[in-house]
Homo-oligomer: A and B are copies of this chain.
Amino acid sequence: MIVIISNKVSEERIDEIVQHIEKHELQAHVSKGVDRTVIGIIGNAHPQLSEQLRQLSDVEQVVKISKSYKLASRDFHPLDTVIKIKDVEIGGEQLVIMGGPCAVESPQQIDEIARIVKAAGAQVLRGGAFKPRTGPYSFQGIGVEGLEMMAEAGKKHGLLTITEVMTPEYVDVCAEYADILQVGTRNMQNFDLLRKLGTIKTPVLLKRGFSSTYDEFLNAAEYILAGGNPNVMLCERGIRTFESYTRNTLDLAAVPALQSLSHLPVIADPSHGTGRRELVEPMSKAAVAAGANGLIVEMHTDPDNSMTGDGVQSLFPQQFAKLMQDLEQLAPLCGKSFDTKKDTIVV
């Protein structure tokens, strides 16, 4: 950590600040420059110290050199985290595809979609039972019943399942039915939810907040890791910018950047990341080329009548199957293997 102080500040005050640092059993190296004095702090500083120093009244700037997260950082854990769930390995060589509707609507709907997802070669069935919606009058999901329907469809077709959990009190029931729990973009900093997810071992897919920095994203992951759950994957799903043609701006540089800062697997969401069906295919390929460990893609058998209104970003089954074929060719060029245990697809 480095503390920068104007030279207009008195020597006595600088000494006080140095003593403040040394109280924490750290060393302070003082360099007097032309306009400013720089104090370099050496030793294992508590993460909160930078906050304390920043607010000292004569301190102009505090530069953190070490990161504020530990367990999530690659410095701390140099090897890739590979999360193994049944026969699927997320974070390793396998390119993992999660496909399915925005929301579970009925047993028939989710069963039919699961069949297509499996046939196309994907490994995970996605579907929401609890839906976070901007307004209170929109469809909010069908709740626990939806969890049951999806679990059954997943079991029948040999797919893992992932579903979103929105509040601490539903973590246990969601974990009972689903293999992976998703934290949505609006809840990335719902710290009580993150803390609760730290107390279980079910893998968590944490979506980036739509205006969160990489640093905040990894700090949110740190909440779960610090609680004792090491099974966290990061999901880039687009950030909010001034561009309104796309629903969000998919920040694909986040894929290699997060993989360099952290050891956790990185999944991309081209559906929410663009909000437009015709952009899902090119951005899925781009995400794989950028090195993503997997994709989470919306697909619906009847997107015109999806209950959430997200049909506009859902692929048709044929498009999903075609995308999977393309990814099968692309994956090996990107250091990934594509799971070939797929059935013949009959759409």
Contact of A213 (CB < 8 Å), options: B244, B306, B334: B244
Write out the residue numbers on chain B whose beta carbons fall within 8 Å of the beta carbon of A274: 253
Q: Is there contact, CB below 8 Å, between A31 and B32?
A: no
Is A177 in contact with chain B by the CB < 8 A criterion?
A: no
Q: Given the complex of chains A and B, what is the CA–CA distance between A55 and B306 in angstroms?
A: 8
Write out the residue numbers on chain B whose beta carbons fall within 8 Å of the beta carbon of A136: 191, 195, 219, 222-223, 226-227
Q: Given the complex of chains A and B, what is the CA–CA distance between A56 and B250 in angstroms?
A: 24
Contact of A249 (CB < 8 Å), options: B4, B167, B251: B251
Q: How large is the interface on A (under 10, 10 to 19, 20 to 34, 35 or more residues)?
A: 35 or more
Q: Given the complex of chains A and B, what is the CA–CA distance between A47 and B135 in angstroms?
A: 9
Of chain B, the residue at the smallest CB distance from A238 is B253
Overall SS of chain A's interface: mixed
Write out the residue numbers on chain B whose beta carbons fall within 8 Å of the beta carbon of A43: 33-34
Q: Is there contact, CB below 8 Å, between B289 and A330?
A: yes
Interface residues of A in 191-236 (CB under 8 A from B): 191-193, 195, 210-211, 213-216, 219-220, 222-223, 226-227
Is A68 in contact with chain B by the CB < 8 A criterion?
A: yes
Write out the residue numbers on chain B whose beta carbons fall within 8 Å of the beta carbon of A304: 55-57
Contact of A245 (CB < 8 Å), options: B168, B213, B303: B213
Write out the residue numbers on chain B whose beta carbons fall within 8 Å of the beta carbon of A4: 65
Interface residues of A in 57-95 (CB under 8 A from B): 57, 61, 63, 65-66, 68-69, 75
Write out the residue numbers on chain B whose beta carbons fall within 8 Å of the beta carbon of A285: 289-290, 334
Q: Is there contact, CB below 8 Å, between B191 and A190?
A: no
Write out the residue numbers on chain B whose beta carbons fall within 8 Å of the beta carbon of A36: 65-66
Is A19 in contact with chain B by the CB < 8 A criterion?
A: no
Write out the residue numbers on chain B whose beta carbons fall within 8 Å of the beta carbon of A343: none
Query: Which of A121-129, A154-162, A308-316 touches B?
Result: A308-316
Q: 1/0 per position for A41-63, CB-CB distance to B under 8 A? A: 11110111011101111000101
Interface residues of A in 158-175 (CB under 8 A from B): 166-169
Q: Given the complex of chains A and B, what is the CA–CA distance between A65 and B40 in angstroms?
A: 14
20 contacts between A and B (CB under 8 A): A31-B31, A38-B40, A50-B309, A51-B308, A55-B310, A56-B311, A61-B65, A132-B191, A136-B191, A167-B167, A167-B193, A169-B192, A213-B245, A240-B242, A241-B251, A250-B253, A256-B279, A256-B282, A283-B290, A289-B289
Going nearest first, the 4 A-B pairs with the smallest beta carbon separation are: A51-B309, A55-B311, A211-B211, A289-B289
Extra contacts besides A2-B38, A213-B242 (9): CB < 8 Å: A33-B43, A55-B304, A186-B190, A213-B243, A213-B244, A241-B251, A256-B282, A256-B283, A285-B289
